[in-house]
Structure 1
Amino acid sequence: MSVIRAVPVGCGHYLPERVVPNSEFEKTLDTSNEWIVARTGIERRHFAAEGEKTSDLAIRAAMAALADAGMTGSDLDAIILATATPDQTFPSTATRVQSALGAGGYAFDIQAVCAGFIYALANANAQIISGQAKRVMVIGAETFSRILDFTDRATCVLFGDGAGALILEAREGAGGPKDAGILSSDLNSDGQFNDLLYVDGGVSSTGTVGHLRMQGREVFKHAVTKLSASGMAAMEQAGVTPADVALVVPHQANLRIISAVAQKMGLPMERIVVTVQDHGNTSAASIPLAMSEARQDGRIKTGDLILMEAIGGGLAWGAALMRW
């Protein structure tokens, strides 16, 4: 039976010009490059320039995705932007991107922190298969450097800024796991773990932006079990096994988490896209950023089955399976 699928037709990314190596933190913190690399796998990250906003990063990534797809902004029906670091309390950062691209339709933000891109992808898929839109751009963009406490060595060395974008288009499929497009998604959250990863500020609580706070060891334990379970659930929904997956594009939080999840799922590291060493944790941007780089360097080819998975504050986590 013929079905409508949300098929990827273009992707792109953008990283701010400023590169911050681990050695920069040695000047102000009791830390070292060796300590950071051993515990996280991170060697460097990018920080936005003064005055460079999340929307600026998102617009650059969006323009790259449009160029990759051979489209213009007017070809889009919707823009969904995942971010925890918006330009303003309101309106949505997505509307700034919409205006810059000359796009019509509608645009809005989604906030699920590091899992934001997976949530946005599932939302875009639902809108396409329901007939609400034919072409949707999904963006993950963050300027986490704006909410870091640079006196806290346990958190400030982990994060970076960046943006990635993916364009999905409605196309017909046969209704089986060989179809191109999004085949399944698995979304989860549990608010009882709020205090494991959060920002200690907000409009209705403190009236301030606040800083990121995290209980790293606890987040690590939850990440390994929840990401592996969610990835397996997404595959089961689509009727595929780990052996069918060409590549996994995980949230780039920590190399030890990525390795542990791969091992738990029985996937060799050769099939895992890893960019955390160069980008750090870019939250909602990390999956589309890593996917765009893998597509550019030829690791993702047409027909490849791609598993994406992420976990962030909330706790919120999920996975999505997509064939390019």
Structure 2
Amino acid sequence: VLAEIGVAAARDALARAGRDAKDVDAVLVACSNLQRAYPAIAIEVQDALGIEGFGFDMNVACSSATFGIQTAADFIRAGNARSVLVVSPEICSGHLNWRDRDSHFIFGDVATAVLVEAADFAPAGHWDILGTQLKTRFSNNIRNNFGFLNRTAPESRDSADKLFVQEGRKVFKEVVPMVGDLITDHIARLGIAPADLRRLWLHQANAGMNRLIAQRVLGHEASEDESPTVLDTYANTSSAGSIIAFHLNSEDLKPGDTGIICSFGAGYSAGSVVIRKAA
């Protein structure tokens, strides 16, 4: 199932870029909830698309897509690939505790795909990656203990921790400043002023978190145009959320416009990708 929705998203991404599978060197499946340990879902996606090269899975919870984008960019910078597909199939409903009234309604299921390519190979109208920055800090406040070492039956009394569990207020209090500081530090390092940011495409976890993070970065409360929200339509789609926000709210930007794709979630993990619309 994970590979099937991933393949569908990948085909859409390839079509939008005018690319064929033979142009792609690698496939990264980056998502929160992997269907199995092995063979890698990425290799199944690679096989279904007919891509040569290599593929592997990676999991950094809700930051998986941005971590995948940096990994893809690093492969390209190192000369190990020219074109990399980063696929994020998120079946969040698979890890929900439907008896937990505080969390079961939060999530949605979806798949996204991003094609990361060398600048001299990318098609016209692409986005340049100006820089990436990642951060992790251990916390138990968002946790899922499911794995092959704990095979408790779902109906067992002690199985609740094998599903999604979070301390929402603690997450809010700790993640907002962490992400705000990450973005502020990142753009400063790149010589970009907050006023130069045309748009923030933030992880779609909580509207209140996004509002405060954007305010910390921009210095004022962001408008819907500056920091669009898609939560009301798609819910929290884990690592795919910021990519959906970008996909649906980027066509109106002009060459030279700069923005940030940013994710944050369990780990804690956070990833920032600063991009600029190419001519």
Q: TM-score, normalised by structure 1?
A: 0.77
Of residues 207, 223, 238, the one that matches 1:283 is: 238
Match of 1:120 in 2: 68
Cα distance, 1:303–1:95 mapped onto 2, change above 3 Å: farther
- Which residues of 2 match residues 172-191 of structure 1 at below 5 A? 172=120, 181-191=128-138
Letter in 1 for 2:266: G
Using the alignment, how far apart are the partners of 1:229 and 1:208 within structure 2? 41
Of 297, 309, 312, the match for 2:262: 309
Cα deviation for residue 61 of structure 1 reads 0.9
For residue 131 of structure 1, the aligned residue among 69, 75, 79 is 79
Matched, 1:150 2:102: no
Amino acid at match of 1:106: F
Residues 1:203 and 2:158 are matched in the alignment: no
Deviation string 1:253-312 (CA, Å, 9 cap, x unpaired) is 0111111111111252221121111111111111222222224xx334443312011111
Query: Which digits, 9 at most, give the CA deviation of each residue in 1:122-153, with x for residues without a partner?
Result: 11111111111001111222101011000101
CA shift at 1:316, angstroms? Answer: 1.2
Structure 1 contact 184–237 (Cα < 8 Å) conserved: no
1:230-266 Cα offsets, whole Å, 9 max, x none, are 1112212221111111111100001111111111112
8 A Cα contact 2:2 2:35, kept in partner: yes
Q: Distance in 2 between matches of 1:165 and 1:301?
A: 22
User: Is 2:227 the counterpart of 1:272?
Assistant: yes
Retained in 2: the 8 A contact 1:54–1:85? no
CA distance in structure 2 between the aligned counterparts of 1:54 and 1:288, rounded to whole angstroms: 17
Q: Return the offset for 1:323.
A: 1.5
Quote the Cα distance in structure 2 between the aligned partners of 1:98 and 1:65. 14
Cα pair 1:230 1:309 within 8 Å, conserved: no
Partners of 1:307 and 1:320 within 8 A in 2? yes
Equivalent residue for 2:115?
A: 167
The residue type paired with residue 278 of structure 1 is: T
Shift of 1:213: 0.4
Contact 1:183–1:323 (CA under 8 A) maintained in structure 2: yes
1:214 aligns with 2:159: no
What residue number does 1:6 align with? none
Contact 1:140–1:286 under 8 Å retained in 2 = no
C-alpha contact (below 8 Å) 1:72/1:101 kept by paired residues: no
SS in 2 for 1:258: helix
Deviation per CA, 1:7-30, whole angstroms, max 9, x where unpaired?
Answer: xxxxxxxxxxxxxxxxxxxxxxxx
Q: Unmatched 5+ residue regions in structure 2?
A: 155-161
Q: Deviations over 1:175-196 (max 9, x none)?
A: xxxx9521112211112x1x20
Structure 2 counterpart of 1:68, from 9, 16, 36:
16
The more displaced of 300-309 and 243-252 is 300-309
Partner Cα distance (2:253, 2:28) in 1: 23
What's the CA shift for 1:211? Answer: 0.7
Aligned partner letter, 2:14 = L
Question: Number of residue pairs matched?
Answer: 263
Partner of 2:186: 234
Using the alignment, how far apart are the partners of 1:311 and 1:172 within structure 2?
Answer: 31
- Kept after mapping to 2: 8 A contact 1:82/1:120: yes
Contact 2:108–2:236, Cα closer than 8 Å, also in 1? yes
Is this contact kept in 2: 1:163–1:286, CA < 8 A?
no
Contact in 1 for aligned 2:73/2:117 (Cα 8 Å):
no
Q: Could you say what the CA RMSD is over the residues aligned between the two structures, in angstroms?
A: 1.9
Q: Secondary structure at the match of 2:165?
A: strand
- Deviation, structure 1 residue 204: 2.4
